[in-house]
Amino acid sequence: MAIQWSDFALERLEEIIIWYELEAGRQVADSVENRIWQQVEKIDGFPMSIPASDLFPGTRKLVISNLPYVAFIRQLDGAVWEVVDIVHSSRRLPKDR
């Protein structure tokens, strides 16, 4: 199974990393980035264990453990999954997307 990131998701990840670097330093920013990448990579082989999202139809919602973020992923074709967005868990998003 392959995992790819949309340009939008990569931009969101970059914004997250920049925020952590400014607020807590480069070491914390690197740690956060690594934890997000590792948890997304762990879906390999078990994507169906991630619950479907009501917010973004056709996606699954991966809660990033020990961080306040959720990754929304979708299956593009049989063996390819795409990270569509990374969202802070306290962000209020419209229910009708």
User: Which domain does 73 fall in, by range?
Assistant: 2-88
Do the domain assignments include residue 81?
A: yes
- Provide the pLDDT for residue 15: 95
Beta bridge partners of 3: 81
- Provide the pLDDT for residue 83: 94
Tally of structural domains, the chain: 1
Do the domain assignments include residue 94?
A: no
CATH number for 64: 3.30.2310.20
Which whole-number Å values give the CA distances from 5 to 23, 68, 86, in the listed order?
25, 19, 10
Per-residue pLDDT of the chain (97 residues; tens, 9 = 90+): 689 999 999 999 999 999 999 999 999 999 999 999 999 988 866 656 787 887 778 889 999 999 999 999 998 887 788 999 999 987 654 443 4
- Provide the pLDDT for residue 96: 39
Do the domain assignments include residue 93?
A: no
Do the domain assignments include residue 82?
A: yes
- Provide the pLDDT for residue 46: 62
What predicted TM-score, i.e. pTM, was given to this entire model? Answer: 0.83
Do the domain assignments include residue 84?
A: yes
Do the domain assignments include residue 40?
A: yes
Do the domain assignments include residue 97?
A: no
Do the domain assignments include residue 57?
A: yes
* Cβ atoms of 84 and 5 closer than 8 Å: no
